[in-house]
A and B are shown apart, each in its own frame.
Chain A
Amino acid sequence: MMAPFQSYTTTNAELVAEGLRSGRWERIDLTQYLPHSRGEIAIRTRMSSFNDKSPVYLEMAKKLQSMESANGRTYSSVRLVWEKWPKSQYGFYDGHTDTDTTRSSVVQFNL
């Protein structure tokens, strides 16, 4: 029997997509491509149904590069990174500081 909220964590995490343009990494707004709530976007980016997530994330990075290009933003490279930070009782991003946030690389797609 699978039920939601079987356990809890003390950190929040988010999949961040960034594109490389003119030597700088820019954040890609995923809400254009993954609608509805923050919770839905979080679930859709976790790819929990897939045992081997690497090819799926690589495909996602390729797709983002292509879609951003169609929207007028051309990146030579797109990377996906998990950002994790401590939960805060005052807001979802309140604990998201430079010192407390950790980043772990997922995949990078180079054009």
Chain B
Amino acid sequence: MTPSLVLHRLTSFFVAWDHWWTRESYPHIMGIIRAAFGAWLLMYWAIRLPYVRILFSTDGIVFPKIPEYMPKNMEWLLQVPEPHIALIIYSIQIVALITLTIGFCTRSSAFIAFCISWYYFYLSLHLFHTSYDRLYIFVLLVLSISNAGQYLSFENWEKYGSPFKWEKMVSIFPQRLIAFQITMTYFGVGFQKLWLPGWQGGEMLWYSMMGVWATPLAFKITSYGWSDLYHVAVNLIKIFELFIPFSFWITKGKVRWIGMGSGLIFHVLVDLLLYIW
């Protein structure tokens, strides 16, 4: 192995690496992600409208957490606002999510929604140690640097006469970032279950279905009593959570779609039994 051969191989590797992360791609996937994710977040925040005052203002029991990296002279940003200020901030969030969903001033909308979501996290949502909010904030940040408005957008409708018409190829980098984050989320959550003592038996599921998150359906199932099927279910969860992150990247056959379908079934069950969504 000569030095020039090593250099050649390294160069080839980094060219392939760069190509994988930043090559040009069709704008359709990011456009669909933007519209679907925007609509989801819009629903997620819109249902909070009746509770904005008690969740995010001095009218409620709100305890912000000042992050360690925040300079002292900026801590006023996380003072619990008066109800009318809280409503103004909330309204800006809803407008930003509407414009993000329809693809109008996409990057600015995503950035505004990212900033406000980040603010809400430290104002109130930090109490949820593990929640989808962190993923939502990350995806909003990625959308704010993407060309997700190049397809299925109001901007394209204005430019080309139809939201489905498109002209420019876009960098695949934002799509890779989101895909990699989702992969690592499932992988981390699934991998740690291999050694966590709580996940070595069906009791994990049995007792979780009687806990604070349990739905009436969960209690209907537990009322039938203990069964070894809980052991089976826990092991199936572990298998799928490890299979899903790898399946996203396998384009052979229907593996990718089986992975996504399994993920969908898993999350629907989590919502039906534990009301977590």
Please state if B189 and A12 are interface contacts (CB–CB under 8 Å): no
Contacts of A12 in B (CB 8 A): 210-212
**Interface presence of B261 (CB below 8 A):** no
Across the interface, name the chain B residue whose C-beta is closest to A3: B189
**Interface presence of B231 (CB below 8 A):** no
Please state if A9 and B207 are interface contacts (CB–CB under 8 Å): yes
Contact with B along A66-107 (1 / 0, CB 8 A): 010000000000000000000111111000000000000000
**Interface presence of A1 (CB below 8 A):** yes
Q: How large is the interface on A (under 10, 10 to 19, 20 to 34, 35 or more residues)?
A: 35 or more
Other-chain residue from B59, B127, B214 in contact with A47 (beta carbon distance below 8 A): B127
Chain A interface mostly: loop
Please state if B225 and A89 are interface contacts (CB–CB under 8 Å): yes
CA distance in complex: A44, B124 (Å): 9
CA distance in complex: A102, B132 (Å): 33
> In the complex, what's the smallest C-beta–C-beta distance from A82 to chain B, in angstroms?
13
Q: How large is the interface on B (under 10, 10 to 19, 20 to 34, 35 or more residues)?
A: 35 or more
Contacts of A23 in B (CB 8 A): none
Contacts of A33 in B (CB 8 A): 54, 60-61
Contact with A along B35-60 (1 / 0, CB 8 A): 00000000000000011001100011
CA distance in complex: A38, B65 (Å): 23
Contacts of A37 in B (CB 8 A): 213, 275
CA distance in complex: A61, B222 (Å): 36
CA distance in complex: A87, B223 (Å): 12
Please state if A50 and B212 are interface contacts (CB–CB under 8 Å): no
The interface of chain A, by Cβ under 8 A from chain B, is 1-10, 12, 14, 32-39, 42-44, 46-50, 56, 59-60, 63-64, 67, 87-92
The interface of chain B, by Cβ under 8 A from chain A, is 50-51, 54-55, 59-61, 63, 65, 126-130, 188-189, 192, 196-198, 203-204, 207-208, 210-214, 219, 222-223, 225-226, 274-276
* 13 A-B contacts (beta carbon < 8 Å): A4-B276, A6-B196, A6-B198, A9-B207, A37-B213, A38-B212, A39-B275, A48-B127, A49-B126, A59-B63, A87-B207, A90-B219, A90-B222
